[in-house]
Amino acid sequence: MILNQSKPSADGFYMPAEYAMHEGTLLVWPVRPGSWGRDPESAQDAFCAIAKALSEHEKVWFLADSEHLQEARERLRDMAEVVEIPTDDAWARDIGPTFVTNGTEIRGINWKFNAWGGDVDGLYMSFDKDDAAAVAFCEHVKKDVYDFGDFVLEGGSIHTDGEGTLLVTETCLLSKGRNPQLKREEIEERLKDALGIKKVLWLPFGIYNDETNEHVDNVCAFIAPGEVVLAWTDDKEDPQYAMSLADLDYLTSVTDAKGRRLKVHKLPIPDHPVLVKEQDLENLVFEEGEDNREAGERLAASYVNFYFGNGVVLVPQFGGENRKSDERALRILKDLCPDREVLGIDSMAILLGGGNIHCITQQVPRP
């Protein structure tokens, strides 16, 4: 049932933290040629690796259209339930519903999706199927839906501690392609109404060259109440340095919804920038109006784009000259999350598509 006029917070619902227990995780089978290539096998291998790791701890759902339904079921086998719901691409974090709970019941929130900027700076022109996917999935799992479909938001642009604090970036939520008719204070009120949030923390920046207008989930994430990880570099010549330093200055100057000073853990980005190669472009096929890639383009590689599953943390790994960076990220997160298994996932194919592990997963919390 769609709850058009209701406010989740007024009904006692709030968004729990990602590290709280899940009923399961939602993903989408990757097939779009402009993101995953005319041969998407490498991306599909990465999605399957994530499904395998999660399926040992929680339920996994995949969305697929009719043309690729059987293919997805054969590849995923008993790791996931594959649901016939068509989409334009495979970014479940951004097109899937955001789930809220009152402690006993789970409901979804449907935001408006416009491909990260619509006519202003959106990444592709046709996104109707993406925009409809959240309601369709809620109907499949029999969850009521709060319809915020006049408010543009992606799941990757918000991150909560489950205790009333929300992280966002100014660059994304105040971008002209999202909700230009709303003032910052009005955006905050919509977020508080929807997510049961008491305080919104506005980081100045995300990750350099992040085509989502710098989603927060690529630069900063809660790992516990009062504790965050922040993407970092010590290289003052790297454009990320000034951006992360501004975020650090902000985070150390504010308190969360409960009045706590935040403990900030630095999580270094790869030591070597990850760039698009000529051979990568040979596989990609872009449609008219779709954002293209170029050889030498810097990708928004960050280890903060990890995902909390039940009992596990799935961490991007880039390989090649960044193997030592990969190992360092795993060590840091193992120290910070001692009660979970920390697993590295080869995610270069996902990064080439435009995001990473957190961007393709959406948690369904357990009431």
The DSSP annotation for 294-357 comes to -TTPBP---TT--EEETTEEEEEE--GGGHHHHHHHHHHHHHH-TTSEEEEEE-HHHHHHT--G
Mean pLDDT across the stretch 265-294?
Answer: 95
pLDDT at residue 4 above 80?
A: no
pTM of the model: 0.97
Report the candidate in 207, 197, 105 with the shortest Cα–Cα distance to residue 156.
207
| Domain limits for position 339 | 2-365
Mean pLDDT across the stretch 131-136?
Answer: 98
- How many structural domains is the chain composed of? 1
Report the candidate in 51, 36, 42 with the shortest Cα–Cα distance to residue 87.
36
pLDDT at residue 300 above 90?
A: yes
Q: In terms of DSSP H, where are the helices of the chain?
A: 33-36, 41-55, 69-76, 92-95, 118-121, 128-140, 170-173, 184-195, 239-251, 278-283, 323-336, 348-353
Distance CA(279)–CA(264), nearest Å, equals: 38
Distance CA(205)–CA(184), nearest Å, equals: 16
User: What residues does 261 pair with on adjacent strands?
Assistant: 255
User: What residues does 317 pair with on adjacent strands?
Assistant: 346
| Residues with catalytic roles | 359
Categorize the per-residue pLDDT at 5 as very low, low, confident or very high, splitting at 50, 70 and 90: low
Q: Taking each helix axis as running N to C, give the angle between helix 69-76 and helix 41-55, from 0 to 180 degrees, rounded to the nearest 10.
A: 50
- CATH classification at residue 152: 3.75.10.10
pLDDT given at position 352: 97
* Residue 38 backbone dihedrals phi, psi, to 5 degrees: -65, -25
pLDDT at residue 6 above 90?
A: no
pLDDT given at position 1: 86
pLDDT at residue 49 above 80?
A: yes
Cα 320 to Cα 99, 327, 345: the distances in Å are 37, 12, 14
Mean pLDDT across the stretch 261-285?
Answer: 96
Instruction: Count Cβ neighbours within 10 Å for each residue of 45-60 and write b for 16 or more, e otherwise.
Output: ebbbbbbebbbebbbb
Q: Token pair of 345, please?
A: 């996932």
Q: Token pair of 19, please?
A: 């590290």
Mean pLDDT across the stretch 155-175?
Answer: 98
State pLDDT tens for residues 317-359.
999 999 999 999 999 999 999 999 999 999 999 999 999 999 9
